[in-house]
């Protein structure tokens, strides 16, 4: 259980690193006239992701979930792949990546890296979904995985709609002013 606690702590540290990057990127974006939208769902997102980390530890400890190597090792590999995808997204978006919905008007959509696939508009959220299943299942915390998945699906429905609207508004050219 101690090593699993260390794994969850490492994921928590990664989240803190994301917040540092997001804060720096927010300053970059606002200096360029960015608009911030979707602030209503952001606290729920923070609570859900914090709950995932706490739930992983609590379920394993309180319910005495066993370590099952046949499940744990593949889930650890899937978790590592999700982290790699997340940081590929962050690196590709550069200063435009954020944990909030912040869009700099007039910038074109990013079409490189994992964003080059038209059928996968939000690869970062794929990483979030995969991580929300894999991290708990590394130590058979299946209730946490199921609850996070259901709540995250509802939250991502709101988040993706909000982000799509913000991106469409910021990247759509405006008509020239009539004289």
48-70 pLDDT, tens per residue? 999 999 999 999 999 999 999 99
pLDDT digit string, tens, across residues 3-55: 999 999 999 999 999 999 999 999 999 999 999 999 999 999 999 999 999 99
Domains of the chain: 2-171 (1.20.120.1630)
> Taking 50 as the threshold, does the pLDDT of residue 175 lie above it?
no
CA distances, 113 to each of 12, 31, 81 (Å): 25, 25, 15
pLDDT band at 172 (very low <50, low <70, confident <90, very high): low
CA dihedral 54, 20, 74, 45 (to 10 degrees): 50
- Whether residue 19 contacts residue 42, with contact meaning beta carbons closer than 8 Å, is answered with no
Report which of residues 130 and 119 the model is more confident about. 130
pLDDT band at 173 (very low <50, low <70, confident <90, very high): low
Which among 125, 161, 170 is positioned nearest to 38, based on CA atoms?
A: 161
Give me the mean pLDDT over the 110-114 stretch.
93
> Mean pLDDT across the chain, nearest whole number?
93
- Which residue blocks in the chain are alpha helix, DSSP H? 2-30, 42-62, 69-93, 123-137, 142-171
Q: Rounded distance, CA 92 to CA 64, Å?
A: 40
């Amino acid at each position: 259980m101690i090593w699993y606690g260390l794994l969850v702590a490492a994921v928590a540290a990664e989240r803190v690193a994301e917040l540092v990057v997001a804060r720096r990127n927010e300053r970059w974006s606002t200096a360029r006239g960015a608009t911030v939208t979707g602030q209503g769902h952001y606290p729920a997102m923070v609570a859900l992701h914090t709950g995932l980390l706490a739930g992983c530890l609590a379920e394993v400890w309180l319910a005495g979930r066993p370590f099952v190597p046949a499940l744990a090792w593949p889930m650890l590999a899937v978790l590592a792949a999700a982290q790699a995808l997340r940081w590929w997204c962050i690196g590709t978006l550069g200063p435009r990546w954020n944990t909030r919905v912040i869009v700099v008007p007039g910038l074109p959509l990013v079409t490189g890296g994992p964003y080059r696939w038209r059928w996968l508009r939000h690869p970062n959220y794929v990483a979030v979904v995969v991580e929300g299943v894999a991290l708990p299942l590394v130590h058979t915390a299946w209730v946490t995985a199921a609850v996070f998945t259901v709540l995250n699906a509802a939250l991502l429905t709101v988040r993706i709609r909000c982000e799509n609207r913000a991106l469409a508004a910021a990247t759509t050219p405006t008509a020239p002013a009539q004289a």
